Amino acid sequence: MKILFLDQSGKLGGAELCLIDIAKPYREDCLVGLLADGSFKDLLEQQQITVKVLTTQSIQVRKDSSLIQSLSSISSLVPLIGRIAKIARDYELIYANTQKALVVGALASFLSRRPLVYHLHDILSADHFSQTNRRVAVTLANRFASLVIANSKATQTAFVEAGGRSEITEVVYNGFEPESYLTQEADINQVRQKLRLDGRFVVGHFSRLSPWKGQHILLEALAHCPRDVTAIFVGEALFGEQDYVEQLHKQVAELRLEKRVRFLGFRSDIVPLMAACDLVAHTSTSPEPFGRVIVEAMLCGRPVVAAEAGGAVELVENGKTGCLIPPGNPQKLAEAIASCRNQPEQAAIIARNAQIQASQRFHLRATNQQVSQLLCRVATSLTG
Ligand code: UDP
Ligand code: GLC
């Protein structure tokens, strides 16, 4: 099937990593159109997926934009929408992977008469978006999309609660290749030596640095943990949250955690880093739509503690495949870390259960099959 994928980001967030896996089976015939240049383009090219940066003009709709700001921004997009509509005529379907891609994709789908699929990676609630943004997304999806793929039931529910038509939604979890998450003991030892982590209990946090990802919660929890507990933070601020980065460094100094915390920046070698941790912490303070890092930690065979909200609840079964704690609660996080440190055998059993379950529930093969069936259904319902 010939698909025009659209994504607003040049950077590598979870939605973009997910799109690479979805686009791969279509790489002979698809085009990924980006609304910004950056490392996402490079990774698509490395995977032999044809990619084109369609504009470098930044689109000024922010997560908290007002109606006037959104409308004036949309009007400046008219030439871009025209170009995308023209390109779309060579494809059978438009697949919008992010909200700004939905805005241009919806109107291009109308002009080119190509069906629109919207992959919704966000929870459309007041925690994450202004009312205007939610209204724009839901109105465009309801009016123009033949299918909305939600990355979790939590995302699907929020879409419907925001006024979305439930009959056009389907839940498809992110898929993973379990084999890619297996590591050798030697690689793990090498990472631990290089980062001087030997003899420490290492808690890993793998996420872009952003207030709602809650890195500050882990720092605070650390202050309540025994001194051998150390944290590594993997990820950088992707969307201009530089103030938060400074706040985190200040917090490290105030809590005198300099010797127990490492910020490693954005890394592409997530697997050996995760495998080198004794525990992976997920600390989002607002509901996480899906949470790739949770599944990745499970596949690496590492115990996970996650904030009990949004999609995380669908991924982790408390006490069986991980530990769920109330969001934004450093005390409970410290207790979960201590219990994992003090009962390593129990933690290893839970991690093993999680690894087996995650390789079955989140296999990329199943995700790709599900997406392929859904896209065929969209295409045939329009031609049939
Ligand atoms: N990630 C990465 N390098 C980093 C930090 C994160 O490759 O330095 C990856 C991580 O492994 C995961 C994705 O970025 O696959 C983040 O996705 P997630 O769904 O956890 O959160 P998002 O940032 O998309 O909200
Ligand atoms: C978004 C969400 C994240 C999800 C990812 C992939 O970036 O914030 O929770 O895992 O998309 O669907």
pLDDT for 380? 85
Q: What pLDDT sits at residue 72?
A: 67
Mean pLDDT, residues 204-211: 97
Query: Cβ-count burial of 334 within 10 angstroms (0-12 exposed, 13-18 middle, 19+ buried)?
Result: buried
H or E, element range at 195? none
292 CB near ligand 2 (under 6 Å):
yes
In sequence order, what are the residues at sequence separation of 6 or more whose Cβ sits closer than 8 angstroms to the Cβ of residue 109?
88, 94, 115, 116, 144
Mean pLDDT in residue range 244-270: 97
Q: Taking residues 348-373, report their average pLDDT.
A: 98
The answer, yes or no, to whether residue 359 has pLDDT greater than 80, is: yes
Average pLDDT for residues 198-223, to the nearest whole number? 97
- Answer yes or no: is the C-beta of 151 below 6 A from any ligand 2 atom: yes
CA of 311 to the centre of ligand 2 (A): 9
Q: How far is the CA of 139 from the centre of ligand 2 (A)?
A: 22
Strands (E), the chain: 3-7, 31-34, 51-53, 93-96, 116-120, 145-150, 169-171, 201-206, 229-234, 261-265, 279-281, 304-307, 323-325
Question: Quick check: 220 pLDDT over 60?
Answer: yes
The two structure tokens encoding residue 298: 């499970």
Q: What percent of the chain is predicted at pLDDT more than 70?
A: 95
C-alpha to C-alpha distance for 308 and 288, rounded to whole angstroms: 9
- Cβ neighbours for 233, distance < 8 A, ≥ 6 positions apart: 205, 209, 215, 218, 248, 261, 262, 263, 264
Average pLDDT over residues 35-49: 96
Tokens 């420490």 belong to 200
Q: What is the DSSP letter of 258?
A: G
pLDDT, tens digit (0-9, with 9 covering 90-100), for 112-132: 999 999 999 999 999 889 999
Q: Is the pLDDT of residue 275 over 80?
A: yes
pLDDT attached to residue 62: 64
Do 107 and 88 touch, CB atoms closer than 8 A?
A: no
**Mutational pocket test of ligand 2: of 19, 290, 314, the residue with most ligand atoms within 8 Å of the beta carbon:** 290
**Among 9, 121, 127, 283, residue to substitute to test ligand 2 (most atoms within 8 Å of Cβ):** 121
What is the 13 CA–ligand 1 centroid distance (Å)?
A: 6
Residue 304 pLDDT: 98
Pocket test for ligand 1, best of 17, 127, 286, 290 (most atoms within 8 A of CB): 17
CA 292 – CA 301 distance, rounded (Å): 14
Distance separating alpha carbons of residues 78 and 93, to the nearest angstrom:
20
Question: Quick one: how far is CA 304 from the chain centroid?
Answer: 17
For residue 190, give the amino acid letter: Q
pLDDT in tens, 133-169: 999 999 999 999 999 999 999 999 999 999 999 999 9
Rounded CA Rg of the chain: 21
Give the integer Cα–Cα distance in Å for 323 and 281: 10
Is the Cβ atom of 296 under 6 angstroms away from ligand 2?
Answer: no
| pLDDT value for 67 | 61
pLDDT the model gives residue 298: 98
> Is residue 66 scored above 90 in pLDDT?
no
Nearest CA to ligand 1 atom 3: 267
Q: Where are the alpha helices (DSSP H) in 229-310?
A: 242-254, 270-275, 292-299
Return the bridge partners of 3, or none. Answer: 93
